[in-house]
Amino acid sequence: MHTIVMTGGTRGIGRAAAAEVLRRDPSAHLVLVGRAAAVRSAADALGPARVVPVEADLARLDDVRAATADVGRLLDAGRLPPLRTVAANAGVQLPDALHTTDGLETTFVVNVLSVHVLLRGLAPWLRPPARAVVTVSDTHFGDLRHNLGLVPAPRWSEPAVLARPGAFDRPGTVAAGRTAYSTSKLAAVHLVHAWARHTPAGVDVLSWNPAFVPGTGLTRRAGPATRFLNLRVLPLLARTPLLDTVETAGASLAALLLGDLTAASGAYVDRRRVVPSSPESYDEAREDALWRFAEDVHAGVVE
């Protein structure tokens, strides 16, 4: 018996992965971390006997800290089997770079800082062999091949700058919001590399890229043209090798969570293959700077 903690498990790829994990592995218990109504509804639908909802707004880091403490208490009390896997799957893409929560830019908080706080909070209960999987995006490459021309390339800056609103030109525009997204996904890959250096042997931290998957709800706050493209046009391409369906991507994530694929800690997994992440993503100086900033955030020094 073992426990998997998952964010972003109430819709899209995460919901499909959660259902697949429970179908494939009768010994798996699942903790869904997210907004109260969503995680409760998903737990009821997936099966309350093996699914525990834990409330947290992932844009509020105090909520994430509280959620990890709640999970720890359940583990310590024996109400959950040992923690073996963490799936940091939640993500947001916003129509600008001005949204804030508690003074920090929401895209960077949800896609990067909440991941660090989640892993930091759960680390005491992760015992080898264990695995943490962080959902990233090939938009971090910043080229036409990987982003289909829909998302601008990332624009790196100091983490303290990226964590605040207005880090990009014309921050109130859709282009800035998409730049914030691609940059946050580059930061998430950096963070995985840093975690791989800071975790003990037997606790593997991996990046997972689902490729482009229409219909996930990620662009639900985008403009009408983008929503139409994602909901009506791109799903047709999911029948080709260019894109995946939600169900196919969910099955790939479930396979990674259940250990079907062998990958060294720090690896970048594209669908079901270990491949290099972007050349820009291998930068230890950036990774160390991001780690230090995220540690300060976790400690409450930066709020």
pLDDT tens, position by position, 43-97: 999 999 999 999 999 999 999 999 999 999 999 999 999 999 999 999 999 999 9
Using DSSP's 3-state secondary structure scheme, residue 5 falls into strand
Those residues with Cβ within 8 angstroms of residue 24's Cβ, 6 or more apart along the chain or in another chain:
254, 258
Confidence category of residue 235, pLDDT binned at 50, 70, 90: low
pLDDT at site 150:
81
Residue of higher predicted confidence among 26 and 219: 26
- Taking alpha carbons only, the member of 270, 268, 278, 131 closest to residue 210 is 270
Q: What is the mean pLDDT of residues 124-134?
A: 96
Q: What is the rounded CA–CA span in Å between residue 206 and residue 260? A: 13
Give percent of the chain above pLDDT 90: 83
Q: What is the mean pLDDT of residues 198-226?
A: 75
pLDDT at site 233:
47
* 253 within 8 A of 13, measured Cβ to Cβ: yes
Residue of higher predicted confidence among 226 and 270: 270
| Rounded alpha-carbon distances, angstroms, from residue 183 to 31, 136, 209, 272 | 29, 11, 15, 23
Those residues with Cβ within 8 angstroms of residue 255's Cβ, 6 or more apart along the chain or in another chain:
261, 272
Average pLDDT, the chain: 91
pLDDT at site 57:
97
Token pair listed for 81: 């089997």
pLDDT at site 156:
98
Residue of higher predicted confidence among 214 and 159: 159
Confidence category of residue 231, pLDDT binned at 50, 70, 90: low
Confidence category of residue 215, pLDDT binned at 50, 70, 90: low
Confidence category of residue 220, pLDDT binned at 50, 70, 90: very low
> What pTM was estimated for this model as a whole?
0.91
Those residues with Cβ within 8 angstroms of residue 81's Cβ, 6 or more apart along the chain or in another chain:
1, 2, 3, 27, 29
